[in-house]
Amino acid sequence: MSELSMPHCWNRESKPHRFCPGCGHGLVLKALGLAVDELGLEERLVFACDIGCSLLAWDFFTFPCMQTHHGRTIPVAVGLKRASPDLVAVAYMGDGGGYSIGLQHLFSAALRSDPITAILVNNTVYAMTGGQMAPTTLPGQKTETTPFGREDETGRPFKGPETLAAVVQPQAYLARGTVARIPQLKKMIKRALEQQLQGHFAFVEALSTCPTNWRTSAADTWAFLEQKMSRYYRPGEIAAAAREES
Ligand SMILES: Cc1ncc(C[n+]2csc(CCOP(=O)(O)OP(=O)(O)O)c2C)c(N)n1
Ligand code: SF4
Ligand SMILES: [Mg+2]
């Protein structure tokens, strides 16, 4: 299926989407929809979305969606999967939800190798609440709460897949894609769904755009994504670190 086509599992009866013009969320959701179509998983999918702009995805698809509390999307997906192991559970969240308020859940699911697929949209800010600093805000980046640029004393920006590589089991799937390359992102999400079908934990971070809170033009939005974010957060698959078990 072409990346230009509309996913079959897209809900054509829902109202027009509410993402801002230039937002990357819709592109990540499209990559997910195409991956679900290609694997023929529409009837088995259950989708849990976080608070944050990810909640605007609640009526995007034809498969069931559950709206969770902020940061609690992963445990909800784990619960759904444990109750109905034949379901394919997708947890969809922002960087604030996954790397800040919900970080312990992400780590716990990775450590246990819960067979779910987590997709995290990294747009470097808490977008829905007005663009405050997130764990992923780049050094020097201006946000609502770092008007002079993020300073070193706030810590180093969090690299999710690389950090999880230290704790996951070898069969887990970890990757970082970008909305600048939808075919690659779709392949990563496909692999993440396949890994869940094999009984393993899978996590894909997607570098994404938020022109509203970045206050950028179309050209500057793309330049920030491609020239700043992608240099700090390198797209690609990330191997689990070898560990000595005694
Ligand atoms: C328990 C709780 N704490 C805080 C909030 C307020 N809140 C709503 S969305 C959000 C940030 C969302 O940022 P992120 O997860 O990065 O998603 P984005 O909007 O950037 O896609 C916060 C702090 C909340 N709704 N619930
Ligand atoms: S605020 Fe940012 S992340 Fe939220 S819908 Fe608008 S562009 Fe997208
Ligand atoms: Mg965010």
DSSP letters, 192-230, are HHHHHHTT--EEEEEE---HHHHT--HHHHHHIIIIIIH
Say if residues 70 and 36 touch (Cβ distance below 8 Å): no
Share of the chain above pLDDT 70, in %: 96
pLDDT band at 18 (very low <50, low <70, confident <90, very high): confident
Q: Is 107 helix (H, G, I), strand (E, B) or coil?
A: helix
Candidate from 17, 18, 25 with most ligand 2 atoms within 8 A of CB, to mutate? 25
The pLDDT of residue 19 is: 94
> Which architecture does CATH list for 25-237?
3-Layer(aba) Sandwich (3.40)
pLDDT band at 144 (very low <50, low <70, confident <90, very high): very high
Decide if pLDDT at 244 tops 80.
no
| Lowest model confidence (mean pLDDT) among 11-20, 28-37, 127-136 | 11-20
Q: How far is the CA of 137 from the centre of ligand 1 (A)?
A: 15
Residue nearest to atom 4 of ligand 2 (CA): 53
Average pLDDT over residues 185-213: 98
Sort 243 into a burial class: Cβ within 10 Å, 0-12 / 13-18 / 19+: exposed
Backbone dihedral angles phi then psi of residue 69, each to the nearest 5 degrees: -75, 165
Q: How far is the CA of 103 from the centre of ligand 3 (A)?
A: 14
Q: How far is the CA of 52 from the centre of ligand 1 (A)?
A: 4
CB atoms within 10 A of CB 110: 25
Say if residues 66 and 38 touch (Cβ distance below 8 Å): no
